[in-house]
Each structure stands twice: as C-alpha cells, then as structure tokens.
Structure 1
Amino acid sequence: MSAPPAEDLIKQWESEQASLRKQVLEEDTEDWQREPDFSGLERIGGVDLSFIKGDDVNACAQLVVLSYPDLEVLYEDSQMVTLTAPYIAGFLAFRETPFLLEALQRLERNQPTLLPQVVFVDGNGLFHYREFGLACHLGVLSGLPCVGVAKNLLQVQGVYKSEEHQSQIASLKKGGDSFPLTAASGKVLGKALRSSDKSSKPVYVSVGHKISLDTAVHLTHRCCRYRVPEPIRQADFHSREYLRKNFPAANTQIKE
C-alpha cells in the first residue's frame, strides 16, 4: 500500500531540506561583517507575509530594503500571492520561500543597485527541527546572507520554555544581552537576545546563511529601535497596510 500523499510530501521535503542544508554557510563571508561598526553595509532587507484574517491561502508577500545605519526605507514591494503548498509544521519555507525569492529577484532585475546585502527573515534559520528553517531556505536559494529572527520560541531539539529558560530570560538586563539556545546534542543553534532596553521579552536569532551567529546577533541588536528589528517590523507594517487599503472589509492577522 502506498503512503498517503501528505506522508510522501513530507519525505520529499525532508530530502530537499537535507540536500539544501549542506549548502548553508555558518560563517561570515562578507567584508562588512568583519568590521566592528559594519562599515560597508548600506542596504538591509526585510521580508514577511501577512494574511487576511480567516484566509490562510491568500497573502501579501512583502520585501522592504532599509538604509544602514539610518534604517530608513529605500524600497518596498507588496504583492498579493496565493500559497499552493499546504502548511505542515517544520516545512513553512515550502509555502513562503518561492514568493519571497520572487520579490528579491524582481528587485534584482528592476533596481539591482538596491539589492540588500543581508536579509532579515521573520522566522527561524538553524534553530529548527532539522536545522533548516525559512531563513536558511531563502538564504541558500537567493545566495544572500540571511538572519532568522523569531518572536516566539520554537520548542525544538531539547530547548523548551522551562524554568531554566525563564530564569535565563530574567538574567538579560539590558539591550544587547543574550544567551545561547543549546540543543540536546550540545550544539548552539541560536541565541535569545534582549533587543532593546525597553523590552524584557527576547527575540530568537539564528543563522540563515553566509553569516556567523555572533555577527547575526550583533547586527540584529544594531537594527532594533524597538523589540523587533526594523527590517522585519517595516515589512510587517507595509504588508498589513497594503491589506488594509486593498481589503478594507477584512481584518488582517499578524503571523507569529
């Protein structure tokens, strides 16, 4: 008897993730990453998808490019898209990456001088069931350095919302403080970062592609005016604004 379609799909996706995972570079590859003040970094991208409430198929795929270090919006692209792949936990990238990649490719074709030198992704990178989250997927396929920043803790590989975890969060006294997210294997898959003095709730930073974890954490902190780094915050804002203007009768929901 053949496996159900969902089972076949999961096996196919696991195989693709394993193959692409081998291409992830977990170290700094760009000259600007090695500069203490990120000298040479001028453009930072942010991507996100926002959905109309009650509709998990039609979404606004958003790309913004911000200047660095001023964090002012240089470019924004909002496109309504129809997601065709089903949602299966751990495989979000197969639903979202094609549309985010299209936005980057559209920018490269039309205004290549504005192509970002690094992309912030609203989601995880190596901090994932199989160490290949959305930020890794987009990074490998685009060839761009990517950083995954999640607002909520993915409880995976032995990392849980335990008393110890809550105690570690309480120990983050100021913006820039962080602690490692260590898997049961002993490998550090990311870091919890207190991104702002104003917010005691951390964000979870992990490597996507072509950047080291320490550089990803440092850059994330540099890009935070509030709790969420500005590239992701602006992508979320612009996508929800697009939905509000074009679908005024519907309420939007924020993807966590």
Structure 2
Amino acid sequence: MSARPAEDLVKQWESEQALLRQQVVEGDTEDWQRVPDFSGLQRVGGVDLSFIKGDDVNACAQLVVLSYPDLQLLYEDSQMVTLTAPYIAGFLAFRETPFLLESLQRLERDQPQLLPQVVFVDGNGLFHYREFGLACHLGVLSGLPCVGVAKNLLQVQGVNKDEEHQSQITALQKGGDSFPLTATSGKVLGKALRSCNKSSKPVYVSVGHRISLDTAVRLTHSCCRYRVPEPIRQADCLSREYLRKHFPAADT
C-alpha cells in the first residue's frame, strides 16, 4: 500500500473513531452493575482472535459465553476469518471488530437467551491514543456493556512503563489491588489491576462501553482464577485449540 492511500485511510478511520467515540457511555447502565455481588448477572462473554504463526491475515475469531458467577462454559463459537483491513497502530478495531461483531450477532439470532450481559475484550477501551480502543468500538456497535483487558501496557497519553510505574506494580500486594492510569491531562483512562494472588503481573482494565471503571475493575477481578479473566482466557484457549485441530502443520 502506497503512502497516500494509507494516509487517506488513517484520516477516514480517525473521523469514524471520533464519531463513534461520542456514543461511548462511560457509566453503569445495568442494575447488576450497581450491587456489590453483581446480583442479576448470569452470562459473561469473552472474545479473541488467534492467528496461525507467520500468517497475519487468516485468524480464528472466538466468542465464548460463561455462566456467572461459576464461570462454566455455556456457548462457544469458533470461525475462521480473513482480515481485509491493514494493521495500523491505534486502529486495530477496524481489522478485528467486524468479525467479533458477527459472532455476537450470530448468537443473538440463533440463541438469544445466551447473549452475554457484558463482554470482555482482549484489548483496550478508553485507554487508547484517542480514547477509543477495540473494547469501545465493539461496545458501541454491539450495544453491549464491554470491558477492555490488556495484558501489556500501552504507553499512551503520558502513561509510561517507567520506574514509577514499576514501583506502583510492586506495591500491589494482593488480588483486587489496583492503581489508576492517569493521562497527562489528568483524566484516569484505566487501572492496572493485580487480578489474582497467584500473579504479580497486572492486567490493564479500561471502560469499553456502558460500564464504569470501578465496576469494570471489580468485575474483572471477580472473573479471574488466573491472571487473565476467564472469558478472555477461555476464548484464547479455545481459538488456539481450534487452530491446532484444523491446521496441525502450523505452529500456533
């Protein structure tokens, strides 16, 4: 792709992001979000894309729905997809969202009683260059509450992986402890969460859509048996399992 079409595409995507960003709801909208034990929450979803090693075009788009609070698998959907949009940093959602959205729409059409009440996304929400990451994009287009949970720190808006950040991580003593990810502007874009006692490495939680940050952090912690919340962990495991089964010669 030549420089000019890429520049035009970035401008187009920036414009689309800005319009969609206006639709993000950053607060709690559901009754279950407002109670300490999330009473009324019965189904939590998780989405992920897994690629065959060396192939950044063909992927397995995965959706899982787990029961809450016991986190048992209720539904799974694995689909091989071909990504058509190029990868440009900060615009990952334009590559991945269409396929994840299709998975949710397929579920809503075929088994609406299993549609998740909240979706965990392997990626960022408001913690993003323009405060509109993958979890926001999927949330706005699906209309569902979404939570972004990233395994790696996106160094953005003045948040850096420096000594101060590392000392804050060290200060997280137990599962559930967190600290804010504050932009240069002073806005809190997300939180670093020690998700369980077993792992001292945090995850980075941010609002996707229709949930507050504090609720997103509490819910993420409640869904963690290991470092990564179960909906995302199981989506990742099942998508990799699908690739191993259907593409045994490839190293996934």
After TM superposition, is the score higher than 0.5? yes
Structure 2 counterpart of 1:83:
83
Structure 2 counterpart of 1:200:
200
Structure 1 counterpart of 2:66:
66
Deviations 1:231-254 (A, max 9, x none): 0000000000000000000011xx
Task: State the aligned residue count.
Answer: 251
Q: Which amino acid in the other structure matches residue 194 of structure 2? A: R
Residue 226, structure 1, aligned to residue 236, structure 2: no
Structure 2 counterpart of 1:247:
247
Structure 2 counterpart of 1:36:
36
Return the TM-score normalized by structure 2: 0.99
C-alpha distance in 2, partners of 1:226/1:6?
40
C-alpha distance in 2, partners of 1:99/1:7?
24
SS at match of 1:104: helix
C-alpha distance in 2, partners of 1:108/1:200?
37
Deviations 1:81-110 (A, max 9, x none): 000000000000000000000000000000
C-alpha distance in 1, partners of 2:214/2:86?
34
Q: Within 5 A, what are the aligned runs for 1:44-63?
A: 44-63=44-63
Q: Within 5 A, what are the aligned runs for 1:107-146?
A: 107-146=107-146
SS at match of 1:100: helix
Give 5+ residue unaligned stretches, structure 1. Answer: none
The runs of at least 4 aligned residues of structure 1 exceeding 6 Å deviation read none
Q: Which amino acid in the other structure matches residue 210 of structure 2? A: K
Structure 1 counterpart of 2:21:
21
User: Structure 1 vs Structure 2: percent identity of aligned residues?
Assistant: 88
Shift of 1:219: 0.1
Deviations 1:105-156 (A, max 9, x none): 0000000000000000000000000000000000000000000000000000
Structure 1 counterpart of 2:212:
212
C-alpha distance in 2, partners of 1:73/1:12?
39
Q: Within 5 A, what are the aligned runs for 1:162-201?
A: 162-201=162-201
Q: Which amino acid in the other structure matches residue 85 of structure 1? A: A
Structure 1 counterpart of 2:157:
157
SS at match of 1:172: coil
Structure 2 counterpart of 1:11:
11
C-alpha distance in 1, partners of 2:49/2:228?
15
C-alpha distance in 1, partners of 2:118/2:237?
19
Q: Which amino acid in the other structure matches residue 155 of structure 1? A: Q
C-alpha distance in 1, partners of 2:68/2:8?
44
Please tell me the root mean square deviation across aligned C-alpha atoms, in Å.
0.9
C-alpha distance in 1, partners of 2:161/2:84?
33
C-alpha distance in 2, partners of 1:166/1:184?
18
C-alpha distance in 2, partners of 1:250/1:16?
36
Shift of 1:35: 1.1
Give 5+ residue unaligned stretches, structure 2. Answer: none
